[in-house]
């Protein structure tokens, strides 16, 4: 049973903290990126953390977040089954607006962990909302990630124009009062496409936050969002400062778009009718001599290209995170 709960995810973070490596947390919204990830992580012998955002749930559910969340969670659990690694699911950037869905995800164990994002709110309100979710999860084996500080950029349905760095003095109080298992911090990364060389990255802050937490007797792993534009040396530096989870969404979106774009550009003649041929999608060109080529327009063909490219890029990112060869999966956990 490769899909594992938060108790096993906690074990994975503990080992990451002790051995100074991290997990990339990879967003999914459809099967191709997931399949590429599963292939890469199994090959690298790394446990895999995938994330579902409210926007991804809404997309996969054709507008119905609840249906989409249940469908994506089932997709991950079913597809993960034959792989000899542990696979975890995190809810990414769920807000107080989705409280009903968060409760259901916890109650029926759809996921291994939940990120409650109330970072837009003032400190006290952020504490109150985050604590509500942490209390709900208590005793269920599901971990809670909360965020303090604001990360610039647009992530899914949450947008912020300003970067608000996490205050190390507030961090320990925040974790203590909320009971959160993981803390997402803002140290200058951005959601969306960013350039590592342009970021005002304050890596020293991560160390300060970590020190304050340790002094307060808290060993909550730190999480960094908006890491798609980080340079490899910046990733390694942040892991050295105690970051255990690095969120990746935009990066695989680009890999998806780029691969599809190149594939369709190279095979346009099998899909778009040439000049002089009457366009006839309705009858699938049944009246004329020209026919489109099923070998290139079948979505599974480009889908397989995307899966292969995701696998290739994921192997590089696993190497950056250092999680390769560190799976905690053991034979007795079973394989279908």
Active site residues: 92
> Based on CB atoms, which residue is closest to Zn ion, 53 or 307?
53
Q: Look at residues 51, 42, 242, 248 and name the one whose alpha carbon lies nearest to residue 143.
A: 51
3-state SS assignment for residue 253: helix
Q: What is the rounded distance in angstroms from the CA atom of residue 43 to the CA atom of residue 21?
A: 18
Instruction: Please count the residues of this chain forming the interface with Zn ion, following the rule CB under 5 A.
Output: 3
| Binding span for Zn ion by CB under 5 A among 16-24, 44-52, 218-226, 271-279 | 218-226
Instruction: Work out how close the CB of 223 gets to Zn ion at its nearest, in angstroms, rounded to a whole number.
Output: 9
Residue 225 touches Zn ion, criterion: CB under 5 A: yes
Contact criterion met (CB below 8 Å) for 25 and 92: yes
> Based on CB atoms, which residue is closest to Zn ion, 39 or 117?
117
Number of Cβ atoms within 10 Å of the Cβ of 298: 11
Task: Tell me the per-residue interface mask from 169 to 208 with Zn ion, x by CB under 5 A, - otherwise.
Answer: ----------------------------------------
CA atoms within 13 Å, Cβ hemisphere of 96: 13
Q: What is the rounded distance in angstroms from the CA atom of residue 49 to the CA atom of residue 71?
A: 17
Q: Look at residues 180, 144, 186 and name the one whose alpha carbon lies nearest to residue 167.
A: 186
Task: Tell me the per-residue interface mask from 94 to 133 with Zn ion, x by CB under 5 A, - otherwise.
Answer: ----------------------------------------
Instruction: Work out how close the CB of 225 gets to Zn ion at its nearest, in angstroms, rounded to a whole number.
Output: 3
> Based on CB atoms, which residue is closest to Zn ion, 230 or 302?
230
Which two structure tokens, joined as six digits, stand for 327? 């799976």
Residue listed under structure tokens 């995307």:
306
Query: Footprint of Zn ion on residues 304-323 (CB under 5 A)?
Result: none
Which two structure tokens, joined as six digits, stand for 28? 């999914």
> Based on CB atoms, which residue is closest to Zn ion, 39 or 92?
92
Query: Footprint of Zn ion on residues 145-164 (CB under 5 A)?
Result: 155
Determine the residue with CB nearest Zn ion: 225
DSSP-assigned letter for residue 321: H
Q: Per DSSP, which regions of 6-58 are E strands?
A: 23-27, 48-52
> Based on CB atoms, which residue is closest to Zn ion, 194 or 307?
194
Instruction: Work out how close the CB of 231 gets to Zn ion at its nearest, in angstroms, rounded to a whole number.
Output: 19
Instruction: Work out how close the CB of 149 gets to Zn ion at its nearest, in angstroms, rounded to a whole number.
Output: 12
| Binding span for Zn ion by CB under 5 A among 6-14, 47-55, 234-242, 245-253 | 245-253
Instruction: Work out how close the CB of 155 gets to Zn ion at its nearest, in angstroms, rounded to a whole number.
Output: 4
Beta-carbon contacts of 279 under 8 Å, excluding residues fewer than 6 positions away, are 273
Contact criterion met (CB below 8 Å) for 237 and 202: no
Query: By the criterion CB under 5 A, which residues form the site for Zn ion?
Result: 155, 225, 247
């Amino acid at each position: 049973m490769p899909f594992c709960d938060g108790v096993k995810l906690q074990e994975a973070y503990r080992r990451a903290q002790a051995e100074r490596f991290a997990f990339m947390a990879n967003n999914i919204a459809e099967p191709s990126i997931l399949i590429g990830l599963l292939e890469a992580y199994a090959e690298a012998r790394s446990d895999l953390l995938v994330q579902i955002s409210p926007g991804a749930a809404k997309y996969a559910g054709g507008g119905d977040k609840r249906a989409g969340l249940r469908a994506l969670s089932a997709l991950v659990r079913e597809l993960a089954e034959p792989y000899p690694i542990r696979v975890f699911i995190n809810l990414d950037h769920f807000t107080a607006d989705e409280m009903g869905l968060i409760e259901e995800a916890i109650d029926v164990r759809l996921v291994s962990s939940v990120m409650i994002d109330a970072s837009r709110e003032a400190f006290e309100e952020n504490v109150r909302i985050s604590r509500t979710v942490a209390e709900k999860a208590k005793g269920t084996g599901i971990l809670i990630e909360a965020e303090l500080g604001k990360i610039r950029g647009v992530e899914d349905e949450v947008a912020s124009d300003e970067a608000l760095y996490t205050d190390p003095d507030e961090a320990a109080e925040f974790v203590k009062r909320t009971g959160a298992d993981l803390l997402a911090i803002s140290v200058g990364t951005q959601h969306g496409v960013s350039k590592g060389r342009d970021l005002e990255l304050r890596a020293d802050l991560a160390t300060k936050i970590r020190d304050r937490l340790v002094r307060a007797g808290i060993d909550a792993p730190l999480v960094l969002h908006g890491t798609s534009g980080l340079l490899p040396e910046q990733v390694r530096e942040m892991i050295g400062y105690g970051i255990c989870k690095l969120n990746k969404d935009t990066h695989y979106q680009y890999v998806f778009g780029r691969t599809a774009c190149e594939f369709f550009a190279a095979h346009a003649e099998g899909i778009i009718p040439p000049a002089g041929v009457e366009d006839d999608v309705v009858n699938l060109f049944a009246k004329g001599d020209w026919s489109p080529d099923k070998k290139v327009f079948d979505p599974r063909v480009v889908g397989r290209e995307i899966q292969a490219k995701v696998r290739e890029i994921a192997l590089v990112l696993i190497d950056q995170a250092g999680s390769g060869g560190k799976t905690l999966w053991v034979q007795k956990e079973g394989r279908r």
